[in-house]
Structure 1
Amino acid sequence: MAHLIRCFRRVAAVLTVALIMLASETPDAWAQSKLDSYRANGAVAERFDGYVEVRDPGAPGDARALVNEVNAQRRALYEKRAKETNVPVAEVGKLFATKIVEQAPKGTYFRQPSGSYVRK
């Protein structure tokens, strides 16, 4: 019975995180526009864990700086949501990743857990 209660609580927490995601903060318009541009041309990829990475080794330096900035913002948000819902940070990131996939522009690469890329 205790195991069932723990499972129920975990499912409830995950659902809570999913609902909170819908009302989550978004980066400022300039950063979002720049990120969309880099994702659309394949310089930057989204990852299965909710973070971004530079995919193209020839990407400009500002793409790398933007990736660091976006990841720092996402990390802070994931940690906040994890604390609020008592769900591991990694799980929060994966939940956000599913929403990011839906919203990413056409042409965006997504790195799978296996390390391979899929393009939208």
Structure 2
Amino acid sequence: MRLDTVEYAYSVEFMCERLDVSRSAYYDWRGRPESATAGRREELKLLITKAFEESDSTYGYRRIHAQLHCWGIAAGLELLRRLMRELGLEPCQPKPKRLGLTQGTPGPVPDLVGRNFTADAPGEKLVGDITYIDR
């Protein structure tokens, strides 16, 4: 990535000397047009962002890959994964809405056995404890 507008702590002359590169080679490299690969990556970033926003930020790299395939665009999974990471796109899967199975009781629960848990014969009183279940 070329950062032409950033101020550096070291001068170009100093860095070229340390890296054993001539200044003319550095300026020649800096003046070159963007490569085809870099251009394709920028196009893919736009398409990835479009597919991600259309999905309400829920598609991960696999679904983005499938969407691009439907649009007729070929790209590898790892490339998409890397580009999504560069763009800071992190999918958010909404949690399913959980419906309560019981209705709240209007008052205190009646004590039907009167706190007497002993029985004369098996199967007369059936009690259980569900306090271990975390909500």
TM-score normalised over the length of structure 2: 0.29
Greater relative contact order (CA < 8 Å, ≥ 6 in sequence): 1
More strand by share: 1
**Structure label with greater radius of gyration:** 2
More helix by share: 1
TM-score normalised over the length of structure 1: 0.31
